[in-house]
Amino acid sequence: MSKTIAKRSRKVKILATLGPASNSPEMIEKLFRAGADAFRVNMSHGEHATHAATINAIRQIETKLQRPITILCDLQGPKLRVGTFEGGKAFLKHGQHFTLDSNPEPGDDQRAYLPHKEIFAALDKGQRLLIDDGKMVLRVLRPGETEILCSVEVGGFISDRKGLNVPDSLVPMAALTDKDRRDLAFALDMGADWIALSFVQRPDDVAEARSLIGGRAALIAKIEKPAALASLEAIIELSDAVMVARGDLGVEMAPEEVPVMQKRIVETARRSGKPVVVATQMLESMITSPSPTRAEVSDVANAVYDGADAVMLSAETAAGEWPELAVGMMDRIATQVESDPGYAARVHFIETLPDATTADALSAACSEIANTVRVSAIVCFTLSGSTARRVARERPSVPVMVLTPSRETARRVGLLWGAYPVVTRDIGSFEEMIGKGKRMALRHHFGEAGGRIIALAGVPFGTPGSTNVLHIVTLTGEELKGYKG
């Protein structure tokens, strides 16, 4: 098997979740070669030792293939659950009364323990409680400090420690539990590039996590609670990226509302210039089947047409029988969509107005120039990654080659639409910028002799946020002669 890997022909990124079916070094490499650009480590399952082995395996593959690989560690967040039952389960009939209380004794068909005192104070009459991913629905008749009397709107069997969702109320709980804090410290020590924050309800949740991260990783806010939608713009502003986490969002909202909210979240993130990931059940049937349903293919395609930065595979690669095929299928769907002659018009349905800064103006100009003058790539020099984010926000018609001396920056931009990161030595002059831009474009096959690229950088070099130089460069082919690195 070749040590190198060809550059991707598509711009949307694929984020693959690792788990028992895929966390061996051999399978991780197969998934990367099949099209995965980034890997998600789910902190809800497994021990730190297992996660450490997985992360170390990714880094070894990164060294072997000489390509930056993005690692996202996804924090579990608070999980609301009911207590246990006599005999392990009970059957609730439609229309009966049922009580959730603060008594830790095992429950029956009349009552159950609710080990979350915060919920008692948060509920009002008429609000819903969803159990086991919405398979059962309770309606609050009488809230109280120690007892919540409910009517059963959708009955069935309820068993030990089933999950509970509270869709109609802002639950006064922090997004970070003690477990999350331990997992966060571990992820940062392991060099995770992105941290995904679950159970985000309010901007303060993001601010707390950002403070704990302290700049050691980028932060992605998972939008999975209806309460978060009320403060969506503020949450996006405080985050480095957002994820449309359709799993819990689909439980707590009516199914027909989820596609509308997905469009809204993607559009809002894109206007803000923040990366956005669409996740959950994208190729769900491929957990057990070697091929997806037509509806799933259309679901992935719609996310690509909307201009999402990344699409995510969950159980399909973490626990499914066909992880490599699932990645390959997502890669082919995205490639096919981006080759559609109508793709450019569809992906630009959002008007992203640049801020009144030189950096934004030049980034927007890159996209316009690429549509007017035949160029093969936009080559941007960046220390922090901000230049790359500005360029990607415009969804240019050509790839964005990101040259940076920071390996951390190269890994973080791995979730960015159209970005191809390369770690290279820093530059010190305009002439060096032009020479290096030419060499890297030729070396990584982003152009050929006689073609042109756009070079974007900031002067003085090495100063974050100083993007102020745009130059159209002609490739001669002479740049690689005698070049050693």
- Catalytic option among 30, 33, 59, 81: 81
Domain final residue, candidates 339, 366, 399: 339
The neighbour count for residue 227, using CB atoms within 10 Å, is 17
Predicted confidence at residue 485, as pLDDT, reads 46
Residues 6+ apart with CB under 8 A from 6: none
Domain that holds residue 417: 358-480
Catalytic residue among 222, 246, 411, 412: 222
Q: Cis before residue 460, ω within 30 degrees of 0?
A: yes
Catalytic residue from among 17, 54, 70, 280: 280
Amino acid at 152: V
For residues 290 and 184, membership in a common domain is answered with yes
Position 347 in a domain: no
Residue 411 catalytic? no
Is residue 412 included in any domain, yes or no?
A: yes
pLDDT of residue 479: 63
Query: Same domain, yes or no, for 47 and 28?
Result: yes
Q: What pLDDT sits at residue 429? A: 85
Residues ≥6 apart with Cβ < 8 Å to 59: 69, 191
Residues 158 and 228 in one domain: no
Do 283 and 419 have their domain in common?
A: no
pLDDT of residue 481: 61
Structural domain contains residue 387: yes
User: Quick one: 363 and 459 in the same domain?
Assistant: yes
CATH number of the domain bearing residue 69? 3.20.20.60
- Domain CATH number, residue 476: 3.40.1380.20
User: Which CATH number goes with the domain that contains 153?
Assistant: 2.40.33.10
In a domain, 1, yes or no: no
What pLDDT was estimated at residue 464? 67
In whole angstroms, give the CA distance from residue 438 to residue 451. 10
Residue 78 has a pLDDT of 93
Residues 403 and 319 in one domain: no
Do 259 and 316 lie in one domain? The reply is yes
Distances (CA, A) of 58 to 24, 74, 443: 9, 16, 24
Those residues of the chain that have pLDDT short of 50 are 485
Q: Two tokens at 100?
A: 């959730």
Q: Do residue 133 and residue 218 come from a single domain?
A: no
**Residue 4 located in a structural domain:** no
Q: Give the side-chain half-sphere CA count within 13 A for 16.
A: 34
Q: Which of 10, 11, 40, 390 is catalytic?
A: 40
Does the residue 186 lie in any domain?
Answer: yes
389 given a catalytic annotation: no
Q: What is the CA radius of gyration of the chain?
A: 24
Residue 210 tokens, joined: 């950002």
Regarding whether 147 and 257 lie in a shared domain, the answer is no
Note the pTM of the prediction, 2 decimals. 0.92
Does 370 reside within a domain? yes
Specify whether 184 is located in the same domain as 52: yes
Co-location of 193 and 317 in the same domain: yes
* Count of CB atoms situated within 10 Å of the CB of 460: 8
Same domain, 371 and 416: yes
Active site residue 8: no
Q: Which residues, 6+ apart, have CB-to-CB distance to 182 below 8 Å?
A: none
| pLDDT for residue 35 | 97
- The DSSP-derived string for 432-477 is HHHHHHHHHHHHTTS--TT-EEEEEEESSTT-TT-EEEEEEEE--S
Whether 280 is a known active-site residue: answer yes
Q: Could you read off the pLDDT of 5-39 as tens digits, one per residue?
A: 667 889 999 999 999 999 999 999 999 999 999 99
Domain count of the chain? 3
Task: Report if residue 6 sits inside a domain.
Answer: no
- Residue 6 token pair: 């060809």
Confidence (pLDDT) at 352: 80
What count of other Cβ atoms lies within 10 Å of the Cβ of residue 480? 13
End-of-domain residue from the set 339, 371, 388: 339
**172-204: b or e for each residue (b if 16 or more CB lie within 10 Å)?**
ebbbbbeebeebbebbbebbbbbbbbbbbbbbe
Give the model's pLDDT for residue 463. 67
pLDDT for 469? 86
